[in-house]
Structure 1
Amino acid sequence: MHSVEAEALIKARDSTVWDIITDAGNYTVWDSGITHVTGELRNGGTIKIRTRTCGSRIFRLRVQQRPGEVMTWTGGLPLGLITGVCTFTLEPHDDGKTHLRVKEEITGPLRGLVGKAMPDARQPLIDYVNAVRKRSEILGRHAQ
């Protein structure tokens, strides 16, 4: 298994952060690293995304959620040859802040082979979390 993660303490309510990470229509508006997204980020939904780091490659992902708490995007090759899971976890704090953690895990027998051809995901994940933090804090100020 290969995994990378990034996290941030965000000065905004968890509902604000949740609204941002589940609003597929606006992912390309803020600097999320996602250049194209279709579908709905809802429990049981399917989305198709294209990222800045993977060029024209389109990823088809299944979405699972516990609204306001956890969301996963899962995709991969048939027969479990490679499976990627991106988990978004929100933890609210009493002071109105939210801890966001995003973890990407790649498993399966072809992980090593495919992993060498894929760009390093750590920096894009850090950039994503920082972009969510920035957008949440801006929108959170306007909601008060």
Structure 2
Amino acid sequence: MTTTTSTSTAIAAPPERVWRLLTDTDWWNRADNGVVDVAGAIAQGQKIKLVSELDPKRGFKLQVAEMDEPHHMVWTGGMPLGLCTGRRSFRLEATNAGCTFSMAEDFTGPLSPLIVRALPDFQGSFDQFAAALKADSEA
């Protein structure tokens, strides 16, 4: 079973400018984007820890599993043996007016239905993140 949350927005800025923010932990930690803290380097193969406003007492340990600058990035995390795996993808597609940003989180694995029921709804947080990225990229 797969469960997905996603958001998308048009940004009047080139993908390279948006990418710089997406990979800048200082931006993640200061922006009004629904994230309390990101620790670690946002770079291919690196491990990071993300703390969200949705559950500020809990940090999610993630790995930057894929990176294709300035187009695509994937973070993964979850339980051993693939019992539940989260996969957050970020995409930037160039347009005549700048780019389209999209972000999605998929949960897969035999325990994912149980785990997802215990998690808060990500939609508002995802929309807040996209709005902050748009505002700061266009500033």
TM-score category (smaller protein): over 0.9
2:21 is matched with which residue?
20
Unaligned runs of 5+ in 2: none
2:112 is matched with which residue?
111
Separation of aligned partners in 1, 2:39 and 2:103: 21
1:61 is matched with which residue?
62
Residue 20 of structure 1 deviates from its aligned partner by 0.6
2:93 is matched with which residue?
91
Partner SS, residue 132 of structure 1: helix
Separation of aligned partners in 1, 2:135 and 2:127: 12
Of stretches 30-39 and 68-77 in structure 1, the one that deviates more from structure 2 is 30-39
1:141 is matched with which residue?
none
Matching residue's letter, 2:105: E
Q: How many residues align?
A: 137
Partner SS, residue 61 of structure 2: strand
Matching residue's letter, 1:120: D
Out of 84, 87, 93, the residue aligned to residue 82 of structure 1 is 84
Deviations 1:74-109 (A, max 9, x none): 0000000100001000001133x1100101101111
Partner SS, residue 18 of structure 1: helix
Matching residue's letter, 1:81: L
Partner SS, residue 116 of structure 2: helix
Separation of aligned partners in 1, 2:55 and 2:20: 25
Separation of aligned partners in 1, 2:69 and 2:46: 13
Separation of aligned partners in 1, 2:135 and 2:47: 27
Separation of aligned partners in 2, 1:74 and 1:32: 20
Residue 70 of structure 1 deviates from its aligned partner by 0.2
2:11 is matched with which residue?
10
* TM-score in terms of structure 1 length: 0.92
Matching residue's letter, 1:70: H
* TM-score in terms of structure 2 length: 0.95
Residue 54 of structure 1 deviates from its aligned partner by 1.6
Deviations 1:34-67 (A, max 9, x none): 1011111111111111100022111111102011
- Which consecutive aligned stretches of 4+ in structure 1 deviate over 6 angstroms post-superposition? none
Matching residue's letter, 1:39: G
